[in-house]
Amino acid sequence: MSDIAVALVHHPVLNRLGEPSTTAITSMDIHDFARTCVFYDVAPVYLVHPAAGMHSMVADITGYWLTGEGGKRNPGRREAMKQIRMVNTLEDVLQDADYSVWYTSAKPPEGRVREVNTLAGQPGPHLIVFGTGWGLNVDEMPEPNGWLSPIAGIGKVRHLSVRAAVAIYLDRLIRNNQPVDL
């Protein structure tokens, strides 16, 4: 599925009041996004954050798995960490390839919303963009090709973790468009 990449945006995002904000990268973001994407043969995995300190932290964590003891003990984790690309902005991601850009949100704007499985038949490469905090601050981001339909839950809480969302979107995309051997 090399025509799909993902980006996890930590800036520009919104805070709980709907104001522009920046969130911190967590080690769970790095590990869970990379492992989920490798599981579904999706790469690269972009982490978007403008702070040099966050870049340094990501380099330390991925370095442990790429060149340190972690990768020797767990080659699968090393393979997942190889997919991480740290960038300052989403515009930096768009310099890597001519991506069709698809944003995700629990509350996408009206129009241009598609089901994730419709991307499989479309020419790529595609970039599926996930936001942290309370969602993407699209006023400060490039215009997308469209929005992917939100994940509809049945519970009272409408704030799914972004790590769970990437797994659900990729599973829907892959399983609905490729035979799966169990």
Q: Residue 124 falls within a domain, yes or no?
A: yes
118-138 per-position pLDDT tens digit: 787 788 899 999 999 999 999
Q: Give pLDDT, residue 177.
A: 57
Q: What does the pLDDT average to over 151-155?
A: 84
List of residues 6+ apart from 117 with CB closer than 8 A? 172, 173, 176, 177
Check residue 179 and give its pLDDT: 46
Q: Say what the pTM is.
A: 0.92
| Mean pLDDT of all residues in 63-86 | 94
Confidence at residue 182, expressed as pLDDT on a 0 to 100 scale:
38
- Residue 58 placed within a domain: no
Confidence of residue 152 (pLDDT cuts 50, 70, 90): confident
Count of domains forming the chain: 1
Q: At 9, which CATH number?
A: 3.40.1280.10
User: Does 57 reside within a domain?
Assistant: no
**Contact in structure between 55 and 16 (CB atoms under 8 Å):** no
User: Does 69 fall in a domain?
Assistant: no
User: Domain of 160?
Assistant: 4-50+82-175
The alpha helices in 7-157, defined as continuous H runs, are: 27-39, 52-66, 69-73, 75-81, 90-94
Query: Is residue 77 situated within a structural domain?
Result: no
Beta strands in the chain (DSSP E): 4-9, 13-14, 20-21, 45-48, 84-87, 100-103, 113-114, 126-131, 146-148
Question: For the segment 76-113, what is each residue's pLDDT rounded down to a tens digit?
Answer: 999 999 999 999 999 999 999 999 999 998 888 877 78
Task: State residue 26's pLDDT score.
Answer: 94
